[in-house]
Amino acid sequence: MSGCAVETTPCSDVQLKQKITAEGSITTAGEQPSIAPSTKQPVTSLAPSTKQPVTVRTPQIHWHGKSPVFAIDFHPHLPRLCATGGSEPDGTGGIHLWLLNDGENAVEAPVQFIQDLQGHEKPVNCLRFCPKGDLLASSGVEGAIIIWKRSSTWEFMTVLRSHTLDVCDLSWSPSSLQLVSASVDNTGTVACSIRGHDHFVLGASWDPQGDFILTVSSDSSCRFHVSKSKNSCFCDNSLIPFGREYKIFIDDTVAAHRRRAAWSPDGLFVVIPGGLYQQSQTTKPVYSTNVFARRNLAKPFAVLPCGKQPSIAVRRFCPVLFKIATCEEQVSHSQSSPSRMIFAVATQSSMLVYDTAQMQTPILYVSGIHFTPLTDIAWSSDGKFMIVTSSDGYCSIVEFAPGGPIPNPHGA
């Protein structure tokens, strides 16, 4: 049942840059990113600074009966429990719960099927466990959001019909009491409708400190919706618009139907996909992923070029926090935080993993593992596994050494 496994080998920073299609180094706002030579060959590369073994494998398992897999999420407290969402052979939407096996058990059976959740009439676009872990929200093409609750098994709880068209993204509040959704009906929804975008809303993310809701749209903008208190509703008149001289996000002319952002666990910065970097109105823009610092949400703190394809998702940061080992790392760390954090960026054909202590180059680059576009990424709560889904119906499992992608996790 298991497919081919590829164990990565370290390479120099120069070699790693050359392996990334049209990839450059991180730049702060106002600088022009440098572009490296392109390559079309599939590659899996590990930066030497990682010093942790990594294995990437694509099990030959039909996760949804040969139908596309559009979404995945890990349980926040049970590191081996995950849920996938997508299409079923009969055209309806399906949710499957799985247990990941590791060690010797993973050789013949990488995952174990646990339960099937039925209720969506059309394909499932997104699903997310709440921070407490007792609820699961799923959204579909029909515009419905279903909440599932955990008892002895996972059971239907309620259905929310706040949107008239596809729901593209979901994000829970830190308290697990509220849920924000993003839809192609041009709105985001909490308890009220969040308006302000002129086109499809393709991503939504709730600030872990509870102060902001971020929405990303195909109208070439993202918006931070704020409230006067953490208990009030997020209203339209509290939007923070971007005054910019050039576009910093792609528009609806680019085929990127998911633009899922992610806040760092401490809320000090947010990483937003679907970006553009353009030095002036006359230069050719470069696809990028934009990093915004909480202290200044008016312009990107840093730009991560992502090659010939736009980034579509920045799945939640690795839940494990890591120690800053050297004084040099402390100086280079973006927010002078006591911890290093790891996050993953996906384009339609590649996946890049970054370390916040040194974002000049990704610590891991994986490409060419699927025949059709990638759709979502998820981390296990212990940081050992990361799974990426694809519309070809398969999922790839990235396995790190115990403790996570880099050495020195907090608590070790």
Name all domains of the chain by residue range, CATH numbers in brackets: 5-400 (2.130.10.10)
Structure confidence at residue 112 (pLDDT): 92
Find, among 222, 260, 252, 266, the residue nearest to 388 by Cα.
Answer: 260
Q: Strand ranges (DSSP E) for 119-178?
A: 124-129, 135-140, 145-150, 154-160, 167-172
Distance CA 226, CA 341 (A): 25
- Look-up: residue for tokens 């990682």? 50
Conformation bin of residue 91: beta by default, left when phi > 0, alpha when psi is -120 to 50: left
Question: What are the structure tokens assigned to 234, written together?
Answer: 């997020």
Q: Hey, is 181 helix, strand or coil?
A: strand
Angle at 15 between CA 9 and CA 21, to 5 degrees: 105
Task: Give pLDDT, residue 256.
Answer: 57
Q: Please, are residues 148 and 157 in contact by the beta-carbon 8 Å criterion?
A: yes
As a whole number of Å, the end-to-end CA separation of the chain is 34
C-alpha to C-alpha distance for 222 and 174, rounded to whole angstroms: 21
* Sites in the chain below the pLDDT cut of 70: 1-52, 184-199, 219-220, 227-246, 252-257, 280-281, 312-315, 325-337, 403-404, 406-412
Residue 321's φ and ψ, nearest 5 degrees, are -95, 150
Q: Do 75 and 55 form a contact (C-beta atoms < 8 A)?
A: no
Q: In the Cβ-directed half-sphere of 60, how many Cα atoms lie within 13 Å?
A: 5
Are the beta carbons of 311 and 289 closer than 8 angstroms? yes
Look up residue 344 and give its two tokens: 């993953």
Residue whose structure tokens are 């990424």: 377
Write down the pLDDT at residue 234.
39
Structure tokens at 331: 């100086």
The Cα 350–Cα 308 span in angstroms is 11
Q: What is the pTM of this model?
A: 0.79
Burial of 44 (0-12, 13-18, 19+ CB in 10 A): buried
Q: What is the pLDDT of residue 161?
A: 82
